[in-house]
C-alpha cells in the first residue's frame, strides 16, 4: 500500500563531486537527441549526484553506494536544521537552474522530464514555508509533520533499513554497517532536538499518536542489546560469509553505549513534549495548519483540487463501489444488512483466514506467491516490455509491525543485487482474509509497485538516474490501484466472486480514504468519527481501521493519492481509447505510462498526448 514506507530518510551532506567523465558513465545517463537535450541530460545527472550526497540512505536503497560513492555507505541522512537548510538550498538551486533553460529547445520527451523535475523542485521550495514541512518532500511524494510517530523516526526506520537494504559482502561493508549504527545514535539525538524545538512552538502529535510511539520506543529499549536486529543482522551475515571480526561484540557495545542512551534521551524528551497533547487529530490545529494541509494534499495528489472537492469525490465513489459489491453479494445469497455489515461478516469468518500462528503466516505468504505466478501468466496482456520482475514476499519485521502499514513495497535496487520486497503486515493473520490477498498482491507485486520498480532497474540505461529518485505518490499508488483493476478485467476472478469482492472492497477502502483524510485535516473530524466511517463503509475491523486512521494523521494528504491517481489514469485511458479507436492497444498504453517513470497528474495528459501521437504515426 506504500511503495517505500516513507520512507527513506532524506538528508545528509557528504561525498566530493564526481568528475564529468564519471557522470557520463553513470547508469541511467539518458541519451540526448539534440543540443538542448544534451545540456538538459547533463543537468539531470548533476541533480542526481547532488541528491545522493544529501541522502546516503537513498544511495543504498538504489544500490549506488559503491565505487565513487562508496563513502556514502557509512552515512545516514542529516536530520539537523543544517541538513534541512541544505535541502532547501538544493531545491532552490535546482529550480533556478531549470528556469534558466529554454524549455522550447528540448525534445518532446525531455519536456515531459523537465516538467516533472521542475514540479518536484517547486513543491520542495513551497515546503520551506512551513516549520513542519520539508524541502525534500517534493521529490519523495509526501510529508510527515512530526519527526517521531508510530511510523516515523530512527527506531522505526533504521534497523530494518540496515537489515534489508545495507548489503554486506566484505569487511568494509561490515565496518560501514557499524558506522551507521553509531550514526543511528546521532540521528536519535537530532530527532530529539527537533521534538523539543517543535514543542516550544506548541507543535506535537496528538496524544493517541504519542502513546503509540512512546510504547514502541519503550518496547525497543526493553530488548536486550545482543538480541536487537542491529546486532543479529550483522552477526549472522558476517558469519554466513566467513568475514572474520568481533562483529557481535562491537555492535552490542555500540547499542549499549550509544544507541540506548540516545534512545533514553528521546523517550524522556518525547514524553515531556507530548504530556499535554490533545486528541485533536487534524493538522488544522498546527501553526498555519490550513495552508500546510493544502500543500500536503497537493503533494499527495499532484492535483489542484481542494479538500472539499476531493471529499465529495470520495463520497460519490464510495456509493458507486458499494453498489457493485452489493450486486455480487446478493448473487452469493448475502442479502441482509448494509454492504459494510456484510463485508464485516466475511472478514470475521474464521474459515476465510489462515490460522493466527507462524504456520498460518507461512501458508498465507505461500498463497501470495501462488497469486504472483497466476498474475505472471496475464502479464503479456498488460505490457509488451517483457520485464523479469524479481520479487520476494516477506512479513513486516515484528519490532515495527504495530505501527507499520498493512502492506508496502521496497523496490529493487538498480544494481540488480536486491530484488523487490513486498512486505505484508502479519501481526495477526486476521488482518488478511484470503479473499483480500490477490488484490493486495496485484497492488504491491505484479503488475503494481514491483513492476514499476523493475522497469527502472531493468531498463536503467533508457532513463536518467534522477527518475529513480522521485516518487509522485498519486501516480505510483494510482498505478497500483489500476493494476488491481486490470487483473479483474483480465478475468482472474471469473470463478472467484469473493476475491472479486475483495478487490472491490480494496477500491472502496481507497475511496473512503478521500473522505476521512480530508475530513480529519480540513473539516475537523475527530479520530472516532473517522474510524467509524471506515468501519461502517468498508466492512473492515476496528483495530485495522484505527491503525489506518492513525497513519493518515501522521501523513496528511498521502492517503488521497491512491484513488485520485487511479481516477486520472482511467480518465486518460478512456481519452486515448476514444482518440485512437481500433488503434488503441492497452499494453502499449500501459507501457507509455510505465516508461514515463512516474509523473505528477498535472503532467500525465502530456504523456498520453505523446502516446496518442505515436500510435497515429
**What pLDDT was estimated at residue 471?**
86
How far apart are the C-alpha atoms of 66 and 72, rounded to whole Å? 8
Main-chain phi, psi angles of 407, to 5 degrees: -160, 145
**What pLDDT was estimated at residue 461?**
85
Residue 14 confidence class, pLDDT cut points 50, 70, 90: very low
Average pLDDT value for the chain: 92
Pairing relation of β-strands 391-395 and 407-410?
unpaired
How far apart are the C-alpha atoms of 160 and 354, rounded to whole Å? 26
Cβ neighbours of 225 (radius 10 Å): 17
Residues 340-348 have a mean pLDDT of 93
Query: What are the angstrom distances between the C-alpha of 307 and each of 57, 187, 303?
Result: 33, 35, 11
CA quadruple 42, 45, 47, 51: dihedral, nearest 10: -170
User: By C-alpha distance, which of 434, 459, 277, 283 is closest to 365?
Assistant: 434
Task: Answer yes or no: is pLDDT of 509 > 50.
Answer: yes
Residue 590 confidence class, pLDDT cut points 50, 70, 90: very high
Residues 144-170 have a mean pLDDT of 96
Q: How far is CA 147 from the centre of its chain?
A: 17
pLDDT over 90, % of the chain: 86
**What pLDDT was estimated at residue 400?**
79
Q: Which residue has the cell 507530548?
A: 274
**What pLDDT was estimated at residue 410?**
86
**What pLDDT was estimated at residue 10?**
28
Sign of the Cα pseudo-torsion (443, 445, 447, 452, in order): positive
359, 390 Cβ separation under 8 angstroms: no
- Three-class secondary structure of residue 420 per DSSP: strand
Task: Answer yes or no: is pLDDT of 15 > 50.
Answer: no
Q: What share of the chain is helix, strand, coil (3-state, %, to 5)?
A: 65, 0, 30
Least confident residue range of 25-34, 319-328, 485-494, 593-602 = 25-34
- Three-class secondary structure of residue 424 per DSSP: strand
Residues 249-260 have a mean pLDDT of 98
Sign of the Cα pseudo-torsion (144, 149, 155, 161, in order): negative
Give this prediction's pTM: 0.91
How far apart are the C-alpha atoms of 156 and 213, rounded to whole Å? 9
pLDDT tens digits for range 230-243 = 999 999 999 999 99
**What pLDDT was estimated at residue 36?**
75
**What pLDDT was estimated at residue 98?**
97
Q: Which residue has the cell 528556469?
A: 99
**What pLDDT was estimated at residue 353?**
94
Residues 430-439 have a mean pLDDT of 94
Least confident residue range of 26-40, 146-160, 580-594 = 26-40
Residue 204 confidence class, pLDDT cut points 50, 70, 90: very high
Task: Answer yes or no: is pLDDT of 27 > 80.
Answer: no
Helices (H) and strands (E) in the chain, counts: 26, 3
**What pLDDT was estimated at residue 34?**
57
Residue 408: enclosing H or E segment and its boundaries?
strand 407-410
- Grid coordinates of 485: 483493476
Q: Which residue has the cell 493538522?
A: 283
407, 425 Cβ separation under 8 angstroms: yes
Q: How far is CA 238 from the centre of its chain?
A: 30
Task: Answer yes or no: is pLDDT of 24 > 60.
Answer: no
Q: Which residue has the cell 486512521?
A: 549
Residue 408 bridge partners (DSSP): 2, 423
Residues 367-388 have a mean pLDDT of 97
Task: Answer yes or no: is pLDDT of 88 > 70.
Answer: yes
Residue 33 confidence class, pLDDT cut points 50, 70, 90: low
- Three-class secondary structure of residue 421 per DSSP: strand
Task: Answer yes or no: is pLDDT of 420 > 70.
Answer: yes
**What pLDDT was estimated at residue 571?**
98
**What pLDDT was estimated at residue 18?**
26
Residues 516-544 have a mean pLDDT of 96
Residues 82-108 have a mean pLDDT of 96
Residue 166 confidence class, pLDDT cut points 50, 70, 90: very high
Residues 279-293 have a mean pLDDT of 97
Residue 612 confidence class, pLDDT cut points 50, 70, 90: very high
**What pLDDT was estimated at residue 275?**
98
Residues 195-211 have a mean pLDDT of 97
**What pLDDT was estimated at residue 35?**
62
DSSP string, 324-370: HHHHHHHHTT--SS-HHHHHHHHHH-GGGS--SSHHHHHHHHHHHHH
Cβ neighbours of 80 (radius 10 Å): 17
Least confident residue range of 11-15, 60-64, 314-318, 491-495 = 11-15
**What pLDDT was estimated at residue 19?**
28
pLDDT over 70, % of the chain: 94
Residue 3 confidence class, pLDDT cut points 50, 70, 90: very low
How far apart are the C-alpha atoms of 25 and 541, rounded to whole Å? 52
Amino acid at each position: 500500500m506504500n511503495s517505500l514506507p516513507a520512507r527513506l530518510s532524506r538528508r545528509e551532506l557528504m561525498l566530493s563531486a564526481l568528475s564529468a567523465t564519471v557522470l557520463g558513465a553513470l547508469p541511467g545517463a539518458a541519451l540526448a537527441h539534440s543540443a538542448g537535450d544534451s545540456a538538459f541530460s547533463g543537468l539531470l545527472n548533476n541533480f542526481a549526484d547532488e541528491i545522493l550526497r544529501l541522502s546516503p540512505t537513498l544511495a543504498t536503497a538504489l544500490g549506488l553506494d559503491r565505487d565513487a560513492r562508496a563513502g556514502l555507505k557509512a552515512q545516514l541522512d542529516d536530520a539537523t536544521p543544517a541538513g534541512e537548510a541544505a535541502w532547501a538550498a538544493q531545491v532552490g538551486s535546482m529550480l533556478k537552474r531549470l528556469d534558466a533553460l529554454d524549455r522550447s529547445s528540448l525534445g518532446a520527451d525531455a519536456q515531459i522530464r523537465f516538467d516533472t523535475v521542475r514540479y518536484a523542485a517547486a513543491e520542495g521550495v513551497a515546503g520551506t514555508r512551513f516549520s513542519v514541512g520539508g524541502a525534500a518532500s517534493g521529490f519523495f511524494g509526501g510529508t510527515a509533520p512530526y519527526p517521531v510517530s508510530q511510523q516515523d523516526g530512527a527506531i522505526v526506520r533504521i534497523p530494518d533499513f540496515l537489515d534489508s537494504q545495507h548489503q554486506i559482502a566484505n569487511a568494509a561493508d561490515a565496518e560501514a554497517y557499524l558506522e551507521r549504527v553509531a550514526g543511528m545514535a546521532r540521528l536519535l539525538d537530532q530527532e530529539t532536538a527537533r521534538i523539543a524545538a517543535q514543542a516550544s512552538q506548541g507543535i506535537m502529535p496528538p496524544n493517541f499518536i504519542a502513546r503509540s510511539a512512546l510504547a514502541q520506543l519503550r518496547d525497543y529499549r526493553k530488548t536486550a542489546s545482543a538480541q536487537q536486529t542491529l546486532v543479529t543482522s550483522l552477526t549472522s551475515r558476517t558469519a554466513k560469509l566467513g568475514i572474520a571480526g568481533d562483529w557481535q561484540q562491537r555492535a552490542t557495545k555500540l547499542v549499549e553505549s550509544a544507541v540506548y542512551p540516545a534512545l533514553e534521551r528521546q523517550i524522556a524528551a518525547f514524553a515531556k513534549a507530548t504530556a499535554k497533547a490533545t486528541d485533536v487529530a487534524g493538522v488544522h490545529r498546527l501553526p498555519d495548519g490550513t495552508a500546510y494541509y493544502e500543500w500536503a494534499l497537493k503533494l499527495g495528489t499532484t492535483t489542484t483540487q481542494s479538500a472539499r472537492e476531493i471529499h465529495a469525490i470520495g463520497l460519490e465513489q464510495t456509493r458507486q463501489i458499494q453498489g457493485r459489491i452489493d450486486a455480487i453479494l446478493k448473487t452469493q445469497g448475502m442479502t441482509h444488512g448494509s454492504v459494510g455489515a456484510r463485508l464485516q461478516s466475511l472478514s470475521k469468518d474464521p474459515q476465510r483466514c489462515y490460522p493466527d500462528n507462524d504456520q498460518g503466516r507461512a501458508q498465507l505468504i505461500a498463497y501470495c506467491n501462488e497469486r504472483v505466478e497466476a498474475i505472471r501468466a496475464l502479464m503479456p496482456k498488460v505490457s509488451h516490455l517483457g520485464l523479469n520482475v524479481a520479487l520476494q514476499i516477506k512479513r513486516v519485521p515484528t519490532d515495527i509491525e504495530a505501527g507499520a502499514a498493512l502492506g508496502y513495497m521496497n523496490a529493487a535496487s538498480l544494481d540488480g543485487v536486491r530484488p523487490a520486497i513486498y512486505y505484508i503486515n502479519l501481526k495477526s493473520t486476521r488482518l488478511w482474509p484470503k479473499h483480500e490477498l490477490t488484490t493486495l498482491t496485484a497492488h504491491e507485486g505484479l503488475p503494481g509497485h514491483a513492476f514499476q520498480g523493475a522497469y527502472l532497474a531493468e531498463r536503467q540505461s533508457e532513463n536518467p538516474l534522477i527518475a529513480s529518485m522521485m516518487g509522485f505518490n498519486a501516480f505510483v499508488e494510482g498505478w497500483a490501484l489500476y493494476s488491481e483493476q486490470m487483473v479483474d478485467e483480465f478475468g482472474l476472478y471469473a470463478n472467484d466472486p469473493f476475491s472479486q469482492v475483495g478487490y472491490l472492497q480494496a477500491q472502496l477502502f481507497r475511496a473512503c480514504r478521500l473522505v476521512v483524510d480530508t475530513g480529519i485535516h480540513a473539516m475537523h473530524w475527530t479520530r472516532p468519527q473517522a474510524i467509524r466511517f471506515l468501519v461502517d463503509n468498508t466492512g473492515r475491523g476496528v483495530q485495522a481501521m484505527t491503525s489506518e486512521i492513525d497513519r493518515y494523521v501522521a501523513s496528511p494528504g498521502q492517503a488521497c493519492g491512491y484513488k485520485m491517481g487511479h481516477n486520472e489514469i482511467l480518465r486518460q485511458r478512456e481519452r486515448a481509447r476514444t482518440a485512437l479507436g481500433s488503434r488503441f492497444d492497452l499494453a502499449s498504453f500501459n507501457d507509455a505510462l510505465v516508461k514515463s517513470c512516474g509523473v505528477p497528474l498535472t503532467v500525465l495528459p502530456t504523456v498520453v498526448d505523446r502516446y496518442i501521437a505515436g500510435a497515429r504515426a
